[in-house]
């Protein structure tokens, strides 16, 4: 039998099967098998067996394609579910971050305030040694002034003594004057008594001042001076510590700000990755629909084969009409595919104008 006369051969085996790449291997295998079978089974009966087997194989292939679509759908769903869960976790992280950011701002404000306070404290502590030295100088001056008061009481006592002598002399002169000087003698006695009292008061004041100065001088001894020098040194040390604390606060604030920036950036990238994964999941549906469109093409081809088988079994050799139908299968399939052409596909890859991917009316 001349196989080129067979309608299948006339249409060309390769043209009878859809073009998607996942069918390529199957198409090549089937074409070879068909040629070998035709050669072994010369005559209409043999051709019928071949065509029936081809149709059965198609059915198996369609079943397997359906299974592949289901598997891809299941894995697509798993992917979307997992990505959604990831997104939920990511969302929670964002919430934590926002919360942390708010707290961070409050903390940074607190740190800034503390830093300001510490800065002021450091400045104050730095002036302490100088202040202590000034206080010590003022104290010395005060002691000197108090000692000056003691000198003044000495002068008062001198004046009192002179007044007393003067009063004694006046009393003597009053006695000499007899009755005429009696009143003056009483006055001289009063002056003497006042002078004595002044002298005693000045002596008491002098005594008190001397005791006070001694007390102050004892207090302002080597121990006191050593203590103030120690305080000065402590004040200087405290100044250094507060400066260190201030610097640590500044470092901590910078580190925290840097950490927040890094985490936020990481989360933004994670979000973008999730968005891309979700976008990619749409291809499962595109794939499913491409496979779904293979089924009607195979159904049409099977109908042609069924008619051919019927004619061959009926002993009819004229298959010109079936030839025409077979030749139309591929153009019909491609025309239908063109209606679903991806707008991003290269121009001229398939007939038809796909239009824009997004068109608002």
How far from 140 is each of 47, 146, 209, 215, CA to CA, in Å? 133, 10, 15, 13
Q: Rounded to the nearest whole angstrom, what is the least distance from the CB of residue 116 to another protein in the complex?
A: 40
Are 189 and 150 in contact by the 8 Å Cβ rule? The answer is no
Alpha carbon 55 to its chain's center: 62
Q: Rounded to the nearest whole angstrom, what is the least distance from the CB of residue 335 to another protein in the complex?
A: 10
3-state secondary structure of 190: helix
Cα–Cα distance measured from residue 91 to residue 84, given in angstroms and rounded to the nearest whole number = 10
Q: Rounded to the nearest whole angstrom, what is the least distance from the CB of residue 83 to another protein in the complex?
A: 7
Task: Give the chain's length.
Answer: 361
Nearer to another protein, 87 or 229 (CB): 87
Q: Rounded to the nearest whole angstrom, what is the least distance from the CB of residue 67 to another protein in the complex?
A: 16
Cα–Cα distance measured from residue 350 to residue 341, given in angstroms and rounded to the nearest whole number = 7
**Interior/surface letters 226-260, b for 16+ CB within 10 angstroms, e for the rest:** eebeeebeebeebbeebbebbeebeeebeeeeeeb
Nearer to another protein, 69 or 149 (CB): 69
Q: Rounded to the nearest whole angstrom, what is the least distance from the CB of residue 94 to another protein in the complex?
A: 10
Nearer to another protein, 43 or 355 (CB): 355
Are 271 and 90 in contact by the 8 Å Cβ rule? The answer is yes
Q: Rounded to the nearest whole angstrom, what is the least distance from the CB of residue 281 to another protein in the complex?
A: 4
3-state secondary structure of 19: coil
Cα–Cα distance measured from residue 124 to residue 129, given in angstroms and rounded to the nearest whole number = 10
Nearer to another protein, 189 or 354 (CB): 354
Nearer to another protein, 320 or 360 (CB): 360
Nearer to another protein, 240 or 343 (CB): 343
Q: Rounded to the nearest whole angstrom, what is the least distance from the CB of residue 342 to another protein in the complex?
A: 7
Are 166 and 191 in contact by the 8 Å Cβ rule? The answer is yes
Nearer to another protein, 90 or 300 (CB): 90
Residues that bind another protein (CB under 8 A): 73, 76-77, 80-81, 83-84, 87, 91, 271, 274-275, 278-286, 288-289, 338-343, 352-361
Are 14 and 35 in contact by the 8 Å Cβ rule? The answer is no
């Amino acid at each position: 039998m001349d196989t080129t006369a067979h309608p299948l051969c006339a249409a060309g085996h390769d043209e009878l099967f859809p073009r998607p790449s996942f069918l390529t291997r199957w198409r090549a295998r089937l074409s070879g098998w068909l040629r070998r079978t035709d050669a072994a089974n010369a005559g209409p009966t043999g051709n019928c067996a071949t065509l029936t087997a081809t149709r059965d194989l198609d059915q198996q292939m369609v079943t397997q394609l359906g299974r592949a679509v289901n598997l891809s759908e299941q894995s697509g769903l798993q992917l979307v579910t997992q990505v959604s869960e990831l997104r939920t976790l990511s969302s929670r992280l964002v919430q934590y971050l926002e919360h942390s950011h708010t707290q961070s701002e409050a903390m940074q404000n607190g740190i800034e305030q503390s830093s300001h306070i510490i800065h002021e404290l450091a400045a104050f502590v730095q002036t302490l040694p100088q202040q202590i030295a000034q206080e010590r100088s003022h104290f010395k001056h005060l002691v000197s002034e108090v000692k000056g008061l003691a000198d003044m009481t000495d002068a008062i006592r001198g004046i009192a003594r002179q007044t007393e002598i003067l009063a004694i002399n006046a009393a003597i002169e009053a006695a000499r004057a007899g009755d005429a000087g009696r009143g003056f003698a009483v006055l001289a006695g009063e002056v003497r008594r006042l002078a004595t009292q002044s002298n005693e008061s000045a002596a008491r004041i002098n005594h008190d001042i001397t005791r006070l100065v001694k007390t102050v001088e004892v207090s302002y001894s080597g121990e006191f001076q050593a203590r103030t020098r120690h305080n000065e040194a402590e004040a200087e040390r405290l100044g250094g510590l507060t400066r260190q604390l201030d610097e640590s606060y500044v470092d901590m604030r910078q580190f925290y700000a840097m950490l927040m920036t890094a985490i936020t950036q990481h989360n933004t990238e994670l979000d973008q990755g999730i968005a891309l994964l979700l976008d990619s999941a749409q291809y499962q549906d595109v794939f499913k629909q491409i496979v779904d469109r293979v089924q009607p093409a195979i159904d049409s081809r099977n109908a042609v084969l069924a008619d051919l088988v019927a004619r061959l079994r009926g002993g009819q050799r004229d298959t010109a009409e079936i030839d025409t139908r077979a030749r139309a299968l591929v153009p019909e399939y491609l025309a239908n595919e063109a209606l679903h052409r991806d707008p991003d596909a290269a121009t001229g890859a398939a007939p038809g104008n796909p239009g824009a991917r997004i068109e608002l009316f």
